Chain A
Amino acid sequence: MNSIKFLYAAYIATWLIHGLYIGSLVRRYGRLRQQMKDLGRGK
Chain B
Amino acid sequence: MKRAFPILAVLTALLLVYAFYQALWVAPTDALQGEVYRIIYYHVPSAWTAFLLFFINFIASVQYLANARPSTARAARWIVIAIGIIGFVAPFIPQVKQQLPTGMYPSSVATTFLIITGLYFVIGKYFVDQDLDVLAVTTAEVGVVFCSIVLVTGPIWARPVWGIWWAPGDIRLTSTLVLWLIYVSYLVLRRFSDSAQTQKLAAVLAVFGALDVPLVYFSIWFFRTQHPQPVIGGGGSMDPRMLHVLLISWMAFLCFAFLVCWSRYRLEKLSREVEEAEALESLLEPAGLAGPSSAVKTPLSRGSK
Query: Is any CB of A less than 8 Å from a CB of B in the complex?
Result: yes
A25 touches B274 (CB 8 A): no
B81 at the interface (CB under 8 A from A): no
B274 touches A6 (CB 8 A): no
Q: How far does the Cβ of A32 sit from chain B's closest Cβ, in whole Å?
A: 6
1/0 contact string of B91-106 vs chain A (CB within 8 Å): 0000000000000000
B300 touches A39 (CB 8 A): yes
B152 touches A42 (CB 8 A): no
Q: Which of B145, B160, B263, B271 contacts A6 (CB 8 A)?
A: B160
Q: If the complex has contacts A7-B38, A17-B148, A21-B260, are A36 and B153 also in contact, measured as CB distance less than 8 A? A: no
- Which among B142, B156, B256 has the highest number of chain A CB atoms within 10 Å? B156
Q: In A1-43, which residues have CB < 8 Å from any B CB?
A: 2-4, 6-7, 9-11, 13-14, 17-18, 21-22, 25, 28-29, 32, 35-36, 39-43
- Cα distance A13–B149 when bound, in Å? 8
- Cα distance A22–B294 when bound, in Å? 37
B175 at the interface (CB under 8 A from A): no
B247 at the interface (CB under 8 A from A): no
Residue of A nearest to B141 (CB): A21
What residues of chain B lie closer than 8 Å to A25, measured between beta carbons? 260, 263-264, 267
Cβ-Cβ contact count across A and B, 8 Å cutoff = 84
Q: How far does the Cβ of B43 sit from chain A's closest Cβ, in whole Å?
A: 7
B153 touches A14 (CB 8 A): yes
Q: Bin chain B's interface residue count.
A: 35 or more
Q: If the complex has contacts A4-B36, A39-B298, A41-B292, are A9 and B281 also in contact, measured as CB distance less than 8 A? A: no
What residues of chain A lie closer than 8 Å to B79, measured between beta carbons? none
- Cα distance A41–B281 when bound, in Å? 12
B180 at the interface (CB under 8 A from A): no
B152 touches A13 (CB 8 A): yes
Residue of B nearest to A43 (CB): B281
Q: In B220-276, which residues have CB < 8 Å from any A CB?
A: 256, 260, 263-264, 267, 270-271, 274
B35 touches A4 (CB 8 A): yes
What residues of chain B lie closer than 8 Å to A43, measured between beta carbons? 281
- Cα distance A7–B39 when bound, in Å? 6
Q: If the complex has contacts A7-B39, A14-B153, are A35 and B278 also in contact, measured as CB distance less than 8 A? A: yes
A10 touches B267 (CB 8 A): no
What residues of chain B lie closer than 8 Å to A6, measured between beta carbons? 36, 39, 156-157, 159-160
What residues of chain B lie closer than 8 Å to A40, measured between beta carbons? 292, 300-301
B260 touches A42 (CB 8 A): no
A11 touches B264 (CB 8 A): no
A36 touches B156 (CB 8 A): no
The 3 closest A-B pairs by CB, nearest first: A42-B291, A3-B160, A10-B39
12 A-B pairs with C-beta separation under 8 A: A4-B36, A6-B156, A9-B156, A10-B152, A18-B149, A21-B142, A21-B145, A28-B271, A29-B267, A32-B274, A41-B292, A43-B281
Given contacts A3-B160, A10-B153, A17-B149, list 4 more A-B pairs with CB under 8 A: A6-B160, A9-B156, A32-B270, A41-B292
Residues of A within 8 A of B (CB): 2-4, 6-7, 9-11, 13-14, 17-18, 21-22, 25, 28-29, 32, 35-36, 39-43
